């Protein structure tokens, strides 16, 4: 049975998901309806409905298409970067967290066909599900419309991330960046506490980035490495924000302390009019500078 004919069997199954037609408008492409339904079918829904085919094969395909387009773009726009740096740039764009954010921008979660159990645990906003489904949708666009259309979609959705990744610098490796920042701020060496949940075939890892016993950020991912990187990024941004605010406050204090004194008005006491000393109308400057009260200085002068 073909991909499309098998997918058509899913189209009439009950789901609380929004109509895929609305998603087509956001994607800018009208796809074979059964294929789009397949792309939006999570394994939890398939298992609860008699073992229907899931979107996993389309996810596999879409992952490759996404990787190809992003890699090609980075290769062409950064002709002088070595392979290692290009790989870091790509990782900053093609990761579960980034894909999930793009998916949220499309409100993709409302279109996913989920099982009741997954639905009840907030699956529509789970980063791993959003990322996988977005890749499946890209795979569906590729199958139905071809590489040019899929490439156009990837560029439209991911070019802002590609551009942003070019400006991240050392932040591309968030664990290294966090360690450098905490050293500069004399906070200590970061540590990562990682926990895992879910069945063996669909584990979710959660990491907490701790410095000096304080948790500064958390992250989740489909691997321990991804979760730690996300936690490191969150912690880096938190510590960097505090450091920047402190530096700005200190700069403001220095500016105030170093400001020129307000100009004195001529003719008023203390204006520094040289005639004051001769007329006796001014204060005893010498006494003041010596720390002697003016009245005492005048009394001593009278005795003399």
Assess whether pLDDT exceeds 60 at residue 201: yes
Q: Do 233 and 216 form a contact (C-beta atoms < 8 A)?
A: no
- Round the average pLDDT of the chain to a whole number and report it: 81
Q: Do 128 and 145 form a contact (C-beta atoms < 8 A)?
A: no
CA–CA separation, 196 and 102 (whole Å): 25
For the segment 191-218, the average pLDDT, to the nearest whole number, is: 92
135 in active site: yes
- The domain over range 3-168 is classified in CATH as 1.10.1200.10: no
Q: Is 202 annotated as a binding residue?
A: no
pLDDT at 280: 44
Instruction: Considering the chain, tell me which residue range(s) the CATH 1.10.1520.10 domain(s) occupy.
Output: 3-168
Closest CA to 140 of 258, 265, 5, 3: 3
CA–CA separation, 217 and 236 (whole Å): 8
72 in active site: no
For 302, half-sphere exposure in the C-beta direction (CA atoms, 13 angstrom radius) is 6
Catalytic residue among 24, 32, 56, 135: 135
Fold of the CATH domain 176-257: Double Stranded RNA Binding Domain (3.30.160)
Instruction: Considering the chain, tell me which residue range(s) the CATH 3.30.160.20 domain(s) occupy.
Output: 176-257
Reduced to 3 states (helix: H, G, I; strand: E, B; else coil), residue 168 is: coil
pLDDT tens-digit map of 210-244: 999 999 999 988 889 889 988 998 999 899 899 88
Reduced to 3 states (helix: H, G, I; strand: E, B; else coil), residue 189 is: coil
CA–CA separation, 76 and 12 (whole Å): 44
Residues 6+ apart with CB under 8 A from 156: 28
Tell me the backbone φ, ψ of residue 10, rounded to 5 degrees: -85, -20
Task: Return the top range by mean pLDDT from 160-164, 167-171, 181-185, 208-212.
Answer: 208-212
Of 15-19, 84-88, 188-192, 230-234, least confident by mean pLDDT is: 15-19
Better-scored residue on pLDDT, 101 or 200:
101
Of 58-62, 183-187, 296-300, least confident by mean pLDDT is: 296-300
Q: Report the 10 Å Cβ neighbour count for 32.
A: 16
Tokens of 170: 């050392």
pLDDT tens-digit map of 40-53: 999 999 999 988 88
CA–CA separation, 218 and 195 (whole Å): 11
CA–CA separation, 9 and 33 (whole Å): 11
CA–CA separation, 201 and 208 (whole Å): 23
Residues 6+ apart with CB under 8 A from 195: 205, 206, 207
Q: Is 59 annotated as a binding residue?
A: yes
pLDDT tens-digit map of 70-100: 999 999 999 999 998 898 889 888 988 889 9
CA distances from 211 to 59, 178, 226 (A): 37, 10, 19
Record the pTM.
0.62
Assess whether pLDDT exceeds 60 at residue 55: yes
């Amino acid at each position: 049975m073909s991909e499309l004919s098998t997918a058509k069997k899913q189209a009439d199954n009950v789901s609380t998901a929004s109509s895929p037609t609305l998603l087509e408008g956001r994607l800018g492409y009208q796809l074979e309806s059964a294929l789009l339904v397949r792309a939006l079918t999570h394994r939890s829904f398939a298992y609860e409905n008699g073992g229907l085919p899931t979107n996993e094969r389309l996810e596999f395909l879409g992952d490759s298409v996404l990787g190809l387009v992003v890699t090609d773009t980075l290769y062409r726009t950064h002709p002088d970067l070595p392979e290692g740096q290009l790989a870091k740039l790509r990782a900053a764009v093609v990761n579960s967290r980034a894909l999930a954010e793009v998916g949220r921008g499309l409100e993709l979660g409302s279109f996913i066909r989920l099982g009741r159990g997954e639905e009840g645990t907030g699956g529509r906003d789970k980063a791993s599900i959003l990322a996988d489904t977005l890749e499946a949708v890209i795979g569906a666009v590729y199958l139905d419309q071809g590489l040019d259309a899929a490439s156009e979609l990837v560029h439209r959705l991911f070019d802002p991330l590609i551009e942003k990744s070019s400006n991240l610098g050392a932040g591309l490796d968030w664990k290294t960046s966090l360690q450098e920042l905490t050293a500069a701020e004399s906070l200590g060496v970061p540590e990562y506490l990682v926990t895992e949940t879910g069945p063996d075939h669909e584990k979710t890892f959660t990491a907490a980035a701790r410095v000096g016993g304080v948790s500064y950020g958390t992250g989740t991912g489909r691997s321990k490495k991804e979760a730690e990187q996300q936690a490191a990024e969150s912690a880096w941004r938190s510590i960097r924000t505090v450091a920047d605010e402190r530096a700005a406050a200190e700069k403001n204090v220095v500016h105030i302390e170093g400001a020129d004194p307000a100009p004195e008005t001529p003719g008023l006491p203390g204006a520094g009019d040289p005639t004051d000393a001769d007329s006796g109308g001014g204060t005893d400057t010498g006494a003041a500078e010596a720390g002697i009260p003016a009245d005492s200085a005048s009394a001593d002068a009278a005795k003399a």
